[in-house]
Amino acid sequence: MTMNEILLIDDNYIDNFINKKIVAKENIADTITVMLSPIEALDYLANKKDRFPDLILLDIKMPQMDGFEFLIEFSKFPEFKKANCSIVMLSSSQNIMDIATAKKNPHVIDYLIKPLDPSKLNDLLKLLV
Amino acid sequence: MFVIAAIVIEVLLVSSCILILFNLRDKLGLAPLYILLGCLQYFQVNLENAVSYKFLGEYPIYPGSIVLFSSLLFAVLLIYIYEGVISARTLVIGILISNLFLTGLFEITATQDYFIRLEDDDINLRNTALFNIDYKYFIIGTIILLLDFILLIWVYQFLISKIKRPLFFLTIFLSLWSILIFDSLAFNGILFYGTPYFKVSLFGHFIGKTFAAGIFSIILYVYVTYIDKVLTTTSFIADHNLNIFSIFTIRKKYLDLKVEKEIAEKKLNERFETTLVKISDGVVSLDKNWCYTYVNKKAGEFLNSKPSSLIGKHIWTEFPEGKGLPFYHAYYKAVDTQRAQYFEEYYEPYDKWFENRIYPTAEGLTIYFTDITDKKIAQLALMESEAFNKGILSSLSAHIAVIDKTGKILAVNKAWNDFSLANGEPNLARTSVGSNYINECENAISRGHTLSQKVLDGIWSVLNNKQTSFKMEYPCHSSTEKRWFTFHIEPFESTSNKLVISHTNVTQLKTTEEQLENANEKLNEAQRLAKIGNWEFNPKTKEVYFSDEMYTILELDKGPSKDLFERYRAKCLPEDYDYFNEILINSIKNEEGYEIGYYIKPNDSSLKYIHEIGEVVLDENGKDLILKGTIQDFTKDKLINEELSKKNEELKKANIELDRFVYSASHDLRAPLTSLRGLIQIVDMTLEVEHEELKEPLSLMNTTIDKMDVFIKSIFDYSVNARTKISTEKINFEELIGSVWESLKYMNIKYNPKSTINITQDADFYSDKNRLEIILGNLVSNAIKYYDNNKMERFVNITVTADAKSANIIIEDNGIGIGKEHIDKIFEMFYRATKLSTGSGMGMYIVKETLDRLHGTIEIESELNKGSKFSISIPNAK
């Protein structure tokens, strides 16, 4: 399947580079948007006229605002806007607390540990279908 | 002349006869007089036909008849005056009866004569009848006589109440004369009225009877006034107030009186009888033959016999068991000596005490006996109580003596003497009864015994009424023991000059007192050392009690306790007052203690931190709620505490920082590694076929990164175990193992062993979840990592058995196994048992460390090339 848009939120340039490469290689989305901070991403989403991205890959540990804080802000968007939007945490943290917290969030459908690779992405796509 | 002389003689004879018989009435009674008068009357009746004396030759007077008739009236009057109406009436009736009887008798006799003579043909029958009565005369005369008597008494009674005493003669004369005149009128009126004889007869009667009245009045008056002299000696002769009809009415009264008298006598008798019967004394009379003549009811009860059945019986036949007993002898003694006997005895058959009083009488003996058992018991009880008092006195441990005002010892108790005997005075000459206490004191003073001076002063002060009593405590140590005594002087009685002195051994009291004092001192010492003071406070009265240490802690002067509360408050910080008041009110309201800490300012330059504990209790009277408690100077502890909590605070902060650091470090260290791994992957992905040789180094780069990753994770686990407190929670093993398995999924492990999980749980199991995860995570990842390449089928089995005590977890694999030589060392830090290990040598070390924290154990069974079995046991932390 192909998605309309995938949003990557990570402060780490290298990780964004890797993720973008993998997603592009798998060719599953029309648009790949990369945001270097959650604040930026919130701004982008708030100003977005058309529908939200189909998938957001969200890092946890980021300066100024971390992934969990982003999730709180995200939940404030109107329901219809985020209806088709799934969020997958993508972090290097293997911390059980982080995994548990992420899985409790209703918007989060999965938790992936970096680095992203094609097999993980494909498993994820299966989940999305 | 002879006629007059004869009349005078007759008058004198008749009147003197009457008066003599009357005078002799005390000895002879009135009967002879009555008989005489009856005879006179009869005689007078028969004189009706006697010859009359012609007064002035014309008027017939019958002197004999008049004299006799007048004498009858005279006698009746005399009797009436002296003996009263009853006797007078008796006389009247007697006269009438004897008159009738004699008349009748003589008539019968005369009739007998008549018939006898008739048989003898005596012709002069009529003339020879000596006493031939004219019945007309007789009946009328008798009726008139009766009337005369009655009238006489009426008239006399009437006159005596009207005429004064000096005119007593007149009373008598008028009485007699009026009756005689009446008699004349009646007699002549009835018999001769209308006949020519009437006038002369009447006149003759008048003359004769007037004379007779005068003469008899004179005789009576003379007798009363001069011979018997009653007129002058007694208040009056006859009852003034007697009713003039008393001659009739007195009879009823008399009968009433008689009945009344009989009733009274009967009552008196009954009362006497009842008294004798009812009195609690037994009364018995015996005659001289020892036979019962009287037994009252009570005596009957005592003797167990009916009183009536005893009368006439012989006492010693009835009560042979009494012979020889004390009362037997007493009876005989009373008879022999004719003196009353008195004794008390206990009579065993009745279990009673009797008091016997035996009086000899003319008839024999009268014995009173009384049941005095109660009295006797009381008496015995009294004796017992006296003995009891004596016993008490002698059993008292105090040495007691009574002295008089000169110091002479009058009485002592046993303890007094015992003490003297025990203290070197074998014959008691100086201290017992008869010796002089004051002298002994003076002797002792002269020997230099200063204490005796005090004793003596005490005695004098009480004797001279300067003091009501005197008390002193003194030591009196013997060679072997320490002793203390109190010496006490009290007046024996408030009025007497005697004194009671007593010495009481108070050694024990004293010792206890000393011990108490000692204990108190120790308490004070303890309070001083612990800087604890105790206090009591009555919120109602604001009364305060502080122990010594309170003053020290608060730096208060030990002044009067009146304003103690205010002085204490002054040491407190004013900003605390409201808080204190609130605590006070609440604790009283809820009857609940409190514990507070606060600062005081004991002086201008320093502060003290006080820890106060208070509780609410009832006061000694059980009325008010009061507060009791302690304060403790916590200043030093407070400082230490503050230091400690500051340090603690710092530590906490450091810990939090460390926590954050470890987290950040693990993340920040791992983040570049993952990036690196991602980049290698990109390179790998985009690698051209001609650069195939680069695949090998790229794979090695990945392995190196993994190794570093595991190491970082180990450090993180180690720090979690070492740093965090154990937090216990209920463990769901299924979930736990699931999440361990899940986390391993992210370890980039590229194969999948066959795994079975068996959980048997009897009871809820509690432990630290994070630590269990560390332990299981390491063991399970080892079991997966060190698989045996030569085995087609690889497995990891996890078995959990949990009960109330512990949980046993077995992790078994068919991996490469551990060489025997390594098993003991695998828990060492940085020890690696196999060259295949990609780890840091931290994993098993962390497992062991973490298990230790949970007080768990681990056992390993492993064989090289066969597999390993790790058994861990963790106690249930519930």
Provide mean pLDDT across the span A69-81. 91
In chain B, whose CA is at the least distance from the CA of A21? B682
pLDDT in tens, B328-387: 888 888 888 888 888 888 877 777 888 888 888 888 888 888 888 888 888 888 888 887
| DSSP 8-state class, residue B790 | T
In chain A, whose CA is at the least distance from the CA of B717? A95
**Could you tell me the two tokens for B276?**
């004798």
Point out the residue among B682, B739, B746 whose CB comes nearest to the CB of A18: B682
**pLDDT score for B741:** 82
- What is the separation, in whole angstroms, between the first and last Cα of chain A? 8
Is the pLDDT at B237 greater than 60? The verdict is no
**pLDDT score for B871:** 95
**pLDDT score for B132:** 59
What span, in angstroms and rounded, lies between the C-alpha atoms of B775 and B717? 9
Provide mean pLDDT across the span B314-338. 83
Contact A48/A40 with Cβ under 8 angstroms? no
- What value, to the nearest 5°, has the Cα angle with vertex B240 and ends B239 and B241? 95
Which conformational region is residue A27 in: left (phi greater than 0), alpha (psi within -120 to 50 degrees), or beta? left
pLDDT in tens, B41-90: 777 777 766 677 777 777 778 777 888 888 888 888 888 887 777 778 87
**Could you tell me the two tokens for B392?**
């008490």
Q: Which of A37-51, B98-112, B534-548, B550-564 has the highest mean pLDDT?
A: A37-51
CA atoms within 13 A on the CB side of B270: 6
| DSSP 8-state class, residue B860 | E
Alpha-helical runs (H) found in B755-871: 769-785, 820-823, 843-853
**Could you tell me the two tokens for B577?**
């007052």
Question: Binning pLDDT at 50, 70 and 90, where does residue A96 land?
Answer: confident
Residues of A in contact with B670 (CB under 8 A): 92-94
Q: Mutate which of B661, B673, B675 to test chain A, going by most A C-beta atoms within 10 A?
A: B675
Residue B31: count of CB within 10 angstroms of its CB = 11
**pLDDT score for B230:** 66
A120: closest CA of chain B, how far (Å):
10
Residue B201: count of CB within 10 angstroms of its CB = 21
pLDDT in tens, B584-632: 888 888 888 899 988 898 888 888 888 899 999 888 787 888 899 998 8
Taking CB atoms and an 8 Å limit, are B682 and A22 in contact across chains? Answer: yes
Residues of A in contact with B781 (CB under 8 A): none
Does this model's pTM top 0.90? no
Q: What is the residue type of A46?
A: A
Q: CA distances (Å), B691 to each of B23, B370, B680, B685, B702, in order?
A: 203, 155, 14, 12, 18
pLDDT in tens, B188-236: 888 777 787 788 888 888 888 888 888 888 888 888 877 776 665 554 4
* Phi, psi for residue A75 in degrees, rounded to 5: -65, -15
Provide mean pLDDT across the span B430-457. 85
**pLDDT score for B870:** 94
Mean pLDDT value across chain B: 82
Contact B776/B856 with Cβ under 8 angstroms? no
**Could you tell me the two tokens for A125?**
């796509």
Residue B486: count of CB within 10 angstroms of its CB = 16
Is the pLDDT at A94 greater than 60? The verdict is yes
**pLDDT score for B858:** 93
* Phi, psi for residue B816 in degrees, rounded to 5: -70, -20
Residues of B in contact with A12 (CB under 8 A): 671, 675
Provide mean pLDDT across the span A35-42. 93
Q: Mutate which of B686, B710, B746, B768 to test chain A, going by most A C-beta atoms within 10 A?
A: B746
Tell me if chain A has a CB within 8 Å of the CB of B743.
yes
DSSP reduced 3-state for A48: coil
Q: Mutate which of B669, B676, B680, B682 to test chain A, going by most A C-beta atoms within 10 A?
A: B682
Is the pLDDT at B30 greater than 70? The verdict is yes
In chain B, whose CA is at the least distance from the CA of A22? B682
Q: CA distances (Å), B124 to each of B128, B129, B200, in order?
A: 6, 9, 33
Q: Which residue has the tokens 């463990």?
A: B731
Is the pLDDT at B579 greater than 70? The verdict is yes
pLDDT in tens, B518-577: 988 888 888 888 888 889 888 888 888 888 888 888 888 887 777 888 888 888 888 888
Higher pLDDT: B433 or B165? It is B433
Query: Taking Cα atoms as reference points, which of A66, A23, A15, A13 lies closest to residue A41?
Result: A66
Contact A57/A8 with Cβ under 8 angstroms? yes
SS (H, E, C) B418-473: HHHHHCCCCCCCCCCCCCEHHHHHHHHHHCCCHHHHHHHHHHHHHHCCCCCCEEEE
**pLDDT score for B499:** 86
Is the pLDDT at B640 greater than 90? The verdict is no
**pLDDT score for B235:** 47
Is the pLDDT at B749 greater than 70? The verdict is no
- Please state the ipTM of this predicted complex: 0.82
Residues of B in contact with A118 (CB under 8 A): 685
Burial B355-387, CB ≥16 within 10 A → b, else e: bbbbebeeebbbbbbbbbeeebeeeeeeeeeee
Is the pLDDT at B173 greater than 60? The verdict is yes
Is the pLDDT at B799 greater than 90? The verdict is yes
CA atoms within 13 A on the CB side of A70: 34
**Could you tell me the two tokens for B653?**
């902060």
**Could you tell me the two tokens for B353?**
């005490």
| DSSP 8-state class, residue B842 | -
Q: Can you name the residues that pair with B544 across neighbouring β-strands?
A: B537
What one-character-per-residue DSSP string does B349-377 give? GGTEEEEEEEEE-SSEEEEEEEE-HHHHH
A60: closest CA of chain B, how far (Å):
10
SS (H, E, C) B228-255: CCHHHHCCCCCCCCCCCCHHHHHHHHHH
Question: Binning pLDDT at 50, 70 and 90, where does residue B255 land?
Answer: low
Type and span of the H or E element at A15: helix A13-26
**pLDDT score for B873:** 95
Residues in contact with B141: Cβ distance below 8 Å, sequence separation at least 6, in sequence order:
B45, B48, B187
**pLDDT score for B245:** 63
Residue B861: count of CB within 10 angstroms of its CB = 15
Question: Binning pLDDT at 50, 70 and 90, where does residue A68 land?
Answer: very high
B670: closest CA of chain A, how far (Å):
7
Edge-to-edge strands of the sheet including B867-875? B754-761, B795-802, B806-813, B867-875, B857-863
What span, in angstroms and rounded, lies between the C-alpha atoms of B419 and B442? 20
Q: Which residue has the tokens 């009447």?
A: B202
What span, in angstroms and rounded, lies between the C-alpha atoms of A1 and B657? 47
Q: Which of B242-246, B424-428, B693-697 has the highest mean pLDDT?
A: B693-697
What span, in angstroms and rounded, lies between the C-alpha atoms of B829 and B779? 15
Taking CB atoms and an 8 Å limit, are B678 and A14 in contact across chains? Answer: yes
Provide mean pLDDT across the span A81-102. 86
Point out the residue among B667, B739, B742 whose CB comes nearest to the CB of A93: B667
Is the pLDDT at B161 greater than 80? The verdict is no
What span, in angstroms and rounded, lies between the C-alpha atoms of B488 and A24? 121
Residue B121: count of CB within 10 angstroms of its CB = 7
pLDDT in tens, B266-282: 888 777 777 776 676 78
Is the pLDDT at B829 greater than 80? The verdict is no
Q: Which residue has the tokens 């008028």?
A: B174
